[in-house]
Each structure stands twice: as C-alpha cells, then as structure tokens.
Structure 1
Amino acid sequence: MRAAALTEYGPPEVLRSVELPDPRVGPGQVRVRPRIAGVQPFDCGVRTGVFPRTLTGDFPIVPGNEFAGTIDRIGPGVTGFAVGDSVLGFCTLGAYAESLVVAADQVARKPGGMSWETAGCFSGSAQGARNAFAEMRVTSGDVVLINGASGGLGTMAVQLARAKGAAKVVGTASEANHDYVRALGAVPVAYGPGLADRLRAVVPEGFDTALGFEPDGLRASLDVVHDRTRVVTMVYSDEIAALGIQDWTGVRSAEGMSEMLALYERGDLTVHVRARYPLADAAAAHRDVGAGHGRGKVVISIA
C-alpha cells in the first residue's frame, strides 16, 4: 500500500510517500481502505517529534488520526459491519495510507447524506469538542468563550455550544474570519493585545467557561472567566502549564462519535473543508495546517 510516512522528525518535507505492507486484520478488528484523512495539529506534533516513542512507535511512522473509507476485511468476532460498508472513524496513527486496521468500535457507519470529505475530518474535531465541553462542564444558559473559533476544533466547538443551549458564544479569530465566526453563531472578537478588555466590552458580566489553545488567549480567558477551573486547553506547553491550566484531551469512543453524528444528522453541526491535498502532497497539507488562522479543516485525498 501507499502511505505518507516519516523516517525522521522535522519540517513538513520529512513526510514522504512510501510503500508499506498491507496490514492484517485481527480479532475484533476491521480493515478500512480510507478515501479521506483529516489533518489535525496533533499530526503535526507527531511529525515534529513532540510525543514519546511509546505513543508513536518506531520509524516509519504514518500519521493521521481520523478517516473515512470502505471496509474490505472483517476480523473474527466482529458483528454489525460487513465488507463494503462505508464508515468513518478514529485512530491515533496510520490514516495517511491506502489501508488501515482499527478496532471495530473505532468506526461508525457514514450517514448517507454526509460527503466523504466531511466524514474524513469529522471525528477528531467533533469528539475533541465533545470531550473538552465535558471538562468545561458546559450547560444550557452558559456564556461560552471559544479561542481560535475559526479553526477545525473551534468551528465545531462554537456549533456544539449553540446546540447545548449556551446563552451566548464569543469566538476569538483574526479579522478576516469574523464573518465566518458570526455565521457559525458566535460574536467575533479580534486576537491581539488588549483581548481581555475587548472581551469585557462584549460580555461585561464575565464568562462561565472558556476553551483555548495558546497562552495569550488563555491568559485573557483567566481574566474574564468566573471559575478558572472551567478554563480548558487541549494543547500542552510549559508556558500554558505555568498558567496553572492542565492540558486535557479526553478519550474518543464509539459512544462519543455516535452522539456527535446524531447532532450532525439533526442539522446542528456542519464541517467546513478549506483545502484538499493528494496523499503524495501530504507535506503541503501539513504546511497549510501549521500556518494557522485558517477556516475549518484540511484533508488528504487517498482514493
């Protein structure tokens, strides 16, 4: 099979096309031929070597943690799926490839009206937002702050806050993305110095909870949120740790994916795909995601 893999850590250019053996399916597993793989900031971290080898294993390392495709093998003990089923799913590594083996509870049937592009980049941001909101303890009537509201996770988080009955959602974003954030249902506020003051101008009474990804936004969040234990990040750095905020990622699950798919089918969630790259140009997809300030998601086309 073809795959985009790393044989060393470094800039996007270390992600190269390679030929690898097709994986074999085992008990409780399914083998999927992915058509689309989403590109997450997590994948960029794998590429640069920020995670321990206990997570990534040895080279060659194939990144990619969300995908959509067709089942072509069923392992012993698997029920509820058949060869030829269209599915979407999640993994830690391996999605930038023509073949992928995962546990059967890491895939779900692709809704008939969901495009392959949407399916391939749904699980990561959808479950990320769900898990973050559980830690943030978001409930109906909350005033919610989403830093980085135009990105893949931010886009999903704004919509999920609205679906959960938030009284108001405010999203930080670059000026060029304010109309996009507004269309999602959030009040846009510009990044940069003086952010806390701009947030207070929009919500003088303060926020109930906040999600953030970088130190400046998290500092402002701590200034305007009533309970600092409800300020949550899904990104770790020494600078963020010094603020007293713990990184938290939660655990993706079949239950979580089913819950978010139900919201999608109800019309509460949409996905914006801003760019699509071929598998042979996975490095360009990483450059795109690494540049930041983009709207929605980037995907890799495999088949």
Structure 2
Amino acid sequence: MNAESLPDMDQRDLGQKFANAKLTSISVGSGKGLVGTVAVDNLRALIGAQPGLEEFISYNHNDCANSFDFATIVGDVPLQEGFQPSLRTLHGANLKIAPSPNVLKCLANLTSLCISNLLPDHDALWPAFHESDITLRTLVIEKPTERLTDYLTGYRGLENLVITRQGSGTRVEVTDNTKHRFLEEGIAHHSNSLSTLQISFDPYLYAHFLLWGLDERQLAWLEGFPKLEVLTVPFVHDAARVPKGTKISMVRRQHQYPVPRLIPPSFDFTRRTLSTGFSPD
C-alpha cells in the first residue's frame, strides 16, 4: 500500500479504514507534505492497526532536507499491549532512524535495511543494533564507518551488501584505513554467507571509484567466498590480466571507469515502492 497516494481527505482515520485489512507492506514519500501533518498521526495509527506489518519503505531521492524521523512514525506503537515486532524490511531514502528504545523494539526482527546513513544519528544505529542482537541479512548503505565495521564483526550471516552513491552532492569522506578495515574485517567476517557484494557509484563520482578500486589480489580473495554469486566492484588494473573464469561483472568493459548503478530490482527504491502486501481479511 502506498499511503501517500491517497488524497489528503482520505488519509484521515487510516487506522480505522484499514482495521480489518491485513497489510504486510507500506510505502510513503518522505517529502514536506508528510512532515508535521495529519498524515503522520494517521500513518502511526495505520501501523498500530497492522500487527503483521513486515515492510516499511520511504522514498524521496537526494533531498535530506525533507527527511523525517522514523521514531515520529512509530510513536508509542511498541508500547501497546500485545505488541509483537514483525517488521523485517526497512528502506528509507531519507529516513532518520535514531536508536530510541521504541524504535529498537519495533526493529527487533529486522533483517533488511536500506538507508543513506549520511543523516544524523545513523552511526549510532550500529552499536545499538549490536546490543539489541539485531542481525541483518541484507544491508544497503552509502558509507562504511568504523562503527559499522564493529557491528559487522559482532555476528555472522550477512547475505547481501550494497554500497552505493547516487550523486546527491553530499561529500562522503572515507579514509583508506576505514576502507581496508571494512573490507578485511567487516566483509571478511561474512565470507561464508555473503552471496551479493556490490560497490557502485554514480559515474561522475570518480574520486569514489579511485578510493574503492580493488586490485587483483583483493578480487582473488573475494573469489574465494564460497556462496558469492553477484560481485560488482570498481576495478583499477590491466583487464587482460584478470584470471579466466572470474565472476566480476563486466570487468573488462568497466576497466578504469566507475561502475554504473547495477543494483538488482530487490534493492531498487522505485521498484520497491510498487510493492504492496494487501489482502482482505
């Protein structure tokens, strides 16, 4: 269900309107029209009326000024009698997610997270997730950090990891030390479970390509991951020297050029916002 697609007058009393429905997925826009309006209260009521909600998606590309707080949407829903956390997927283009007790309770069973992680408080998520034993299977982010690496080394089982920048204009500073630790500690810790690894950037972000360009040794190391099926990474090297049989996506065509945005449909914001989980009671 796309809550923002409803006319303003129909957004009132959403909790009552859909009390007898079983929604598993809700997608909303995170623009100015949703912040500070009656839609927020009604969206909270809608979530509270859906004990089986599994997926929440917000979308508003490249506009951090219009971000909104997930805690505002959740409100006191986790404090309701009989509340059982069911949310497994949380995708937020510009969604602020501060690790408050209510938010963490709501995300207790989260397995898939897609955020820009360039917004305030996002880096505080990782130690909070570790302490709350929230173990992600799918993670899509824009920036690796030391705290994120610490979180990844605290559990095993990550299956899909995507690092992507879409040219929003926000400068992302990542040191070589952070990059190497993220690769050799964070990613390495999930070498036996990782099936998808994508590091892709807007073609104009050449500096990011140079920073993340992997060498032949690193490619050979990743090739040894037993379950790795999808691997898309920047590669700065002589393409002719890449070992035969390597699974690097389009490595020869991408030689010395930034990797274009190659994200499977399951990680595509536009496609995901079309997902609905409505069935009559």
* Larger relative contact order, structure 1 or 2 (CA cutoff 8 Å, min sep 6): 1
Q: TM-score, normalised by structure 2?
A: 0.32
Q: TM-score, normalised by structure 1?
A: 0.30
Which is strand-richer, 1 or 2? 1
